[in-house]
Structure 1
């Protein structure tokens, strides 16, 4: 992603790409539908809690730990093997993200470091919580894109942080998709980049005011669309072409819509007394 040129806010231009405006409008409609549900008036905390659980399950599934929701709900041991550690990391990130909203706009790199510390809590080496150095490996089996060198990682993280701190008028979906896509394209950490990227996407969606109660878990939609679709859309973003970037933003938009649909179903269940 290039941040050069005369355009003060390059994300605004992305919002004008074909299909993106339609995705932004569809997301707004889906979010409004959830927030307009009568259950949200008195039981929004329950919907938020359930969305966090389902979002963590979805994010972990994309990291290779595709557990049933009830398995995630009942388990308390998350350090036995790689899958359980991924699920535990996703749950911790879901809880931590809400505590970092006020810091994100001032210091996004600090937030990313904190997210990785939380995700990789079980690791005992000096790579946790900092961008990788030259020659350090990356464990991210789902993403097969070329791995940028450490210097490029540092430059692109600085560029991304500059965009976040500067703010702008681009739709929240566009900003969230770029944050998510850029973090996965550069994979700044030695592990758990996908989990961190999806947590950062959530922070943008919530902190922007699009989904202030965190009831539209995009992670659910990313998982529902499948790992192959996720990887293909990300490859489009990494290509840097207008068509590829637009496809990635639309994919992220569809994921938010599916997350909103999931929470609408939770609202319906709560209304019926089934949840």
Structure 2
């Protein structure tokens, strides 16, 4: 039997415990009573918050209420909103044709940011083999916990600088799609990008550390991802509490 390529990452110091804690926080948040009667409005609010946070992580930060009111026309914000709206419809395709889905995510995210010839394709052919390897993971080459899979998908796309323009929006959307398709967050209720945004210096630093490929660098990123997931779960609870008032 071939060795699971992600299995060694679980043996890095504190990683398994951090991911287990993030999973427990997520499961607890998903049991909030408000989701039984206000699931739709909660999901819509989470979608807005995480889209705004993702754009902000691309240095396109705008006030949440301005985006809610529809007065923000910034193309990166609008692209992040389009991407989030598309995730549910891409869930079934993601494990079967991840490269196709990545192309779609980039087209949605960067439509008004880069030229038509750049949409949906890697900006450097040299990254294609690593994108293919990542696609193989998504398509079933690993049985690692879904949080670990999502963390690696996210960090790899960031490290590769795979797509022109708002590459980070694509990376974060692919990670969220992994959580949705993997069953941890089937309704897309985790405000993952709010979690990353709330720890932005750590997010940037640990992503750069992951790109070095060292065990310590990878461990730094995985611990960040777990902490961001816990913050995302807190955001879900906050939205649920407000919906229940």
TM-score by length of 1: 0.85
| Residue 89 (str. 1) matches residue 79 (str. 2) | yes
Instruction: Give the Cα–Cα distance (whole angstroms) in 2 for the partners of residues 100 and 125 of structure 1.
Output: 22
Would you say the 8 A contact 2:66–2:72 is kept in 1?
Answer: no
State how far apart, in whole Å, the 2-side matches of 1:220 and 1:10 are: 29
User: d(CA) in 1 for partners of 2:63 and 2:203?
Assistant: 20
Which of 109, 121, 132 is the equivalent residue of 1:130?
121
1:70 to 65, 69, 74: 65
2:203 equivalent to 1:230: yes
The offset of 1:261, in angstroms, is 0.4
Do the aligned residues in 2 keep the contact of 1:27 with 1:256 (CA within 8 Å)?
yes
Q: Which whole-Å CA distance do the structure 2 matches of 1:16 and 1:99 have between them? A: 35
> What's 2:132 paired with?
158
Q: Is contact 2:76-2:110 (8 Å) kept? A: no
Give the aligned partner of residue 202 of structure 1. Answer: 176
Residue 98 of structure 1 aligns to a residue in which SS?
A: helix
Distance across 2 between alignment mates of 1:265 and 1:164: 31
The whole-number CA distance in structure 1 between the counterparts of 2:23 and 2:160 is 29
**C-alpha separation between the residues in 2 aligned to 1:188 and 1:38?**
40
Task: Please say if residues 44 and 213 of structure 1, whose CA atoms lie closer than 8 Å, have aligned partners that are also in contact.
Answer: no
Which runs of 5 or more residues in structure 2 are unaligned? Answer: none
Contact 1:222-1:230 at 8 Å conserved across structures: yes
Map 1:94-243; keep pairs closer than 5 Å: 94-122=84-112, 123-133=114-124, 150-151=125-126, 153-226=127-200, 228-243=201-216
CA drift at 1:22:
1.3
CA deviation digits over 1:117-148, x for unaligned, max 9? 11122244311111124xxxxxxxxxxxxxxx
State the distance in 2 between where 1:55 and 1:171 align: 23
Query: CA offset at residue 234 of structure 1?
Result: 0.7
SS of aligned partner of 2:92: helix
Name the CA distance, whole Å, in 2 between partners of 1:44 and 1:243.
Answer: 39
Partner of 1:81: none
**Corresponding position: 1:12 with 2:7:** yes
- Offset from partner CA, 1:43-102 (integer Å, 9 cap, x none): 112111111111001101101112121111112552xxxxx1111111111111221110
C-alpha distance in structure 1 between counterparts of 2:180 and 2:233, whole Å:
13
Count how many residue pairs are aligned between Structure 1 and Structure 2.
244
In terms of fraction of residues, the more helix-rich structure is 2
Runs (5+) with no aligned partner, structure 1? 1-5, 79-83, 134-149
Once the two structures are TM-superposed, the CA of residue 225 in structure 1 deviates from its matched residue by 0.5
Supply the RMSD in Å over aligned alpha carbons. 1.4
TM-score, normalization: structure 2? 0.95
Task: Please say which structure displays the higher CA radius of gyration.
Answer: 1
Contact 1:237 1:244 in 2 (8 A): yes
